[in-house]
Structure 1
C-alpha cells in the first residue's frame, strides 16, 4: 500500500480531489462550476467551514485559472498537483489524500455535475448518522434518469454482459443485471444501508475512515479501484446510498472507449477477483 505522509490533525473542513487526464475541458469546467455553486450553498449553513480542492494533473490539464479564480473567491483553497505523470486514477487521488486534514473528503470525477445542495445535505447526513463513513449519492444521467451504480458483488458473467454485450443481447440478461445493479432497492426516495459496492465517481468519506483505509489500492491503474475501496470500507464504517444527495454523471463504459481501456478493465478485474474471490456465474 501507499506510504502516507503524517496527516494533519482532523478539523471540521471539507476537501475535494479530482484526477484529470486529457479531460473534456467543457465537462471539467462544468464540474468545477457545479462544485463552486455547491460550496457556496454549503457556506450558508456552515460559514466557517474550510474547503480545499486538489486537482491532480495526470497529464493534459487545460488552463483552469478562471474556474480556480471562481473557487478562490468563495474561499476555497485550490492546489494543482502535477509533475508525477500518469500514475492512474486511484494513485492520483492518493496524492491528494496524503495532504488532507479536514473532517470530510470527496473523491470526485471530472465528469460529474454536483447539485447545488448536495454537499450541504451530505454533511447534514453525516452529522445525523455518526456511524456512517461513506456516502454515495443519487446519480442521474444527462436525460435525468437514475443510474444504478450501486452494486452487489459481481460475477465474471455480470461484468461481461454489462460491459461488452450490445443492448440487443443484454436484454436477455435483464433480470440478472437488475439484481447486480440493486434495482430492487435503489430508487429516488429510500435510503439504502450498506450497498456492497458504490461508484468512484462521487465518494464522500469521513477522512478518519479514508485514512484508516490508506486511500485507494495503487495496484489498480484504472477500473475496480472503487470496488476494492468500497468493500474495504465496510470493515470500518457503514456505507449509505443517500438519494437526497444528487449528482449528474456524464461517464461511459470501458467497451466504448477502445481496446486500451478493455485491456485495463480486464487487468484490474483479475486483480480484484484474485483479492476478494472469484465468482463465475
Structure 2
C-alpha cells in the first residue's frame, strides 16, 4: 500500500525542478511513496524534463494555469497514499524528511497537518510557523515594526520570529512549501477551497483543520531548503510587492476572500482600508523626496479598489486563471 503521496505543482519551474525531484529520489523512505506532479501550463522545459528523466513521476499536464490549490485538488483525484505531502518545486528535502514526517504523524494522533523548518539556500531562517492573519498582524507587518523588532513576542507575533526555531510546537498555520496531511481528514474537510487561485489557500485549510478538532504542528527536525517565489518571478506583467515576491493584486484578492469568509464584510473592508490609508500616507510623505515610492503606494491604493470590486467585497472569486 502506498503510504505517502507527494504533490508538486509546477509553473515554469525547470531551473529548480531537478533538485527537488532528486531530493525525493534520495529519501530513506524508499518504495512507500508516489510522486504526482501537476504542471500548470508551463512555458519552459518542465514537462520535458520530467518525461525524459523522471519516469517514476505521475505527470498531469494542465492546458491552463489552475493555480496552487486547484492543481493540488487535481492531484488528489489520483493519489493513493494514506498521507499527503505538498512540496514546492523550489524546495529540497534532507534525506530523512519523509520518513521523519511519517513517524510524527503516526505518533501524534491529533495532528491534522505538520510542517518543518524552512531555510534558504544559505541556511538562513525562513518563517515556518505563523499566527493566523488579523488586522493587528497586518498592521505590524505593514508598518515594518515586525521586521524592526523580530525578537519581541508582540511585534514578532505573526511570524513567531521570537520563538526558538528548534522547538516543536502546535501553531496556527504553516507555509505550504512543505506540509504533510492526514488523508482521512482531507476526505472529511476537503483539500483546498477552489476560490483561492493563489495565496491564503493554506491558511484557509489550516483554519478548517482547527475547526475539525485537529492541530497543526511545526516539527523542526524536518528540514527543507526553500528558494521561495521562483514561480512568481516568471510572471512579469503584474506588480510585485516591494517587500517580497507576492503578486500584489492576487494577494489582495485572496486576502479579501479569506477575511470575508472567516471574519465577515466589515473586517475584510477594514483590512482593505488599513493598507490603503498606510499607502496614502506613504505616498504623501514621499511625493517630493521619493517620487518612485510615492507612485508605488498610489498604485497599491488603486489595486485595492480593483481587488475589492473584482471579488465583490470577498463574495466571489474572479474568473480563473487570475
Does the CA contact (< 8 Å) of 2:115 and 2:128 recur in 1?
Answer: no
Structure number with greater Rg is 2
Equivalent residues in 2 for 1:126-137 (5 A)?
126-137=105-116
How do residues 64-213 of structure 1 correspond to structure 2 at under 5 angstroms?
A: 71-72=54-55, 77-156=56-135, 158-159=137-138, 162=141, 171-172=147-148, 174=150, 175=152, 176-188=154-166, 190-193=167-170, 195-213=171-189
Which residue of the other structure, out of 35, 39, 49, is the alignment partner of 1:57?
39
Structure 2 match to 1:26: 15
Report the count of equivalent residues. Answer: 254
Task: Tell me how far apart the structure 2 counterparts of residues 246 and 131 of structure 1 sit (CA, whole Å).
Answer: 22
Q: Deviations over 1:231-281 (max 9, x none)?
A: 111224222111111101111495159999100000000000111113758
- Residues 131 and 158 in structure 2, CA contact (< 8 A), matched pair in contact too: yes
- Report the Cα offset of residue 211 of structure 1: 2.1
TM-score of the superposition, structure 1-length normalised?
0.80
**Which of 246, 251, 262 matches 1:276?**
262
The reply on whether 1:231 has 2:207 as its aligned counterpart is yes
Task: Point out which structure has higher relative CO (alpha carbons under 8 A, 6+ apart).
Answer: 1
SS at structure 2 position matched to 1:222: coil
1:245 maps to 2:222: yes
2:6 is equivalent to residue 16 of structure 1: yes
Shift of 1:83: 3.4
- SS for the counterpart of 2:241 is helix
- The two structures, once aligned, show a CA RMSD in angstroms of 2.8
Measured at CA, do residues 178 and 101 of structure 1 come closer, stay the same or move farther in structure 2, by a change above 3 Å? same
Displacement of 1:171 in angstroms is: 4.3
Gaps of 5+ in 1: 1-10
Q: Which residue is equivalent to 1:6? A: none
Counterpart-to-counterpart distance in 2, 1:160 and 1:32: 38
C-alpha contact (below 8 Å) 2:198/2:254 kept by paired residues: yes
User: CA deviation digits over 1:83-123, x for unaligned, max 9?
Assistant: 34111110011000121121111111111111111011111
2:298 aligned residue: none
Distance in 1 between residues matched to 2:158 and 2:46, nearest whole Å: 40
Aligned with 2:252 (options 266, 271, 275): 266
| In 1: Cα distance, 2:98 partner to 2:175 partner | 17
Deviation for aligned residue 1:184 = 3.5
Contact 1:158 1:180 in 2 (8 A): yes
